[in-house]
Amino acid sequence: MQLYNNLSGKERAELIKKAGKDRLTISFYKYAKIGNPELFRNHIFINWNDMDVLGRIYVAHEGINAQLSVPADNFDVFKSHLDSIIFLENVRLNIAVEHDNFAFLKLKVKVRNKIVADGLNDETFDVTDKGIHVNAEKFNQLIEDPDAVLVDMRNHYESEIGHFKNAITPDVDTFRESLDLIEEDLREHKEDKKLVMYCTGGIRCEKASAYYKHKGFKNVFQLEGGIINYVRQIEAEGLENKFIGKNFVFDQRRSERISDDVIANCHQCGEPADMHTNCINEACHLLFIQCDSCKEKMNNCCSTNCMEIIKLPYEEQKELRKGQGNSNDIFKKGRADHLPYKKDLRNIFDTLNK
């Protein structure tokens, strides 16, 4: 019984290329009580591997969080399998705006303590006691309400390239930081303001909405299906698009363009740009925004130091990496003193507390 990948990403990419078939990029999540996550993990791996599903899936006692790629001609079989699982029947699937056959190159199903890393040790709140879900039309109306506070629940590097108009975009590295920051800055508005939240696909907002209800917020709303679902709805229903820029996504594409606006800048030269890249130096791997001109000039590196390192023989590069764990101290996201044009996001809570 195979419970792991037996092909490398490169080998899988070759098979996808030879097959010449379209694949759909899909994400979904569901908070539910799973008694044996390991057993459930093995069940879905065996079934999805047979369907040639690829992606990154997290399973925990609190539910499932999945980003994946499905062959278009296997979609109906995949959907039928989801519907055969009681708590996943008719689960909302967020289908990407832009598809990439190489978005995922392996099937990784991992058991985690939580499907969203929140850093919380508070077991007294019910994650299923969520806020009010609103569709795109209601969301557009709600965020024009002067008593509504619109909050982006994503991290700084996500909101930097795209966000909703007039949204609060906390300058944070983690979801956990956002939870405390928002509660602290809106502590005086738990009853008189409508807390409206959004994220990529809805999973972070759903947990946050339950948490803030637990903390005493009376009017909590979230965008159903997040930015991904919002875009599909406005296109299908001819609604006004209130999102500017690009939506950051967690696969090989890194982003989907939602509007023509370029609201970010190259972190190296300051010119308008909104394409993230990872520094090609494997000991660095810094995620940052780089324009085409700097990409060519810097050879896909974030600094001259990294440019010198990648010129070294591979074995010397490996020696330099010894002793460096793959932690946030190495794999940072847009945080580095040598990036002169890294945008410092404003603290937009200030106007609420004046």
Q: Is 221 exposed, middle or buried (0-12, 13-18, 19+ CB in 10 A)?
A: buried
Amino acid identity, position 118:
D
Residues 6+ apart with CB under 8 A from 190: 215, 216, 217, 218
Compute the distance between CA of residue 343 and CA of residue 150 in angstroms, rounded to an integer.
21
Residues 6+ apart with CB under 8 A from 303: 279, 284, 336, 338
- CA-based nearest residue to 307, from 323, 330, 283: 283
Encoding tokens for residue 293?
A: 């001109």
Active-site residue (options: 199, 284, 294, 306): 199
- CA-based nearest residue to 206, from 185, 220, 190, 216: 220
Encoding tokens for residue 291?
A: 């324009």
Q: Is 199 a catalytic residue?
A: yes
- With vertex at residue 221, the alpha carbon angle to CA 224 and CA 82, rounded to the nearest 5 degrees, is 30
Adjacent-strand bridge partners of 71: 23
Q: Is 199 exposed, middle or buried (0-12, 13-18, 19+ CB in 10 A)?
A: buried
Which residues are the active-site residues? 199
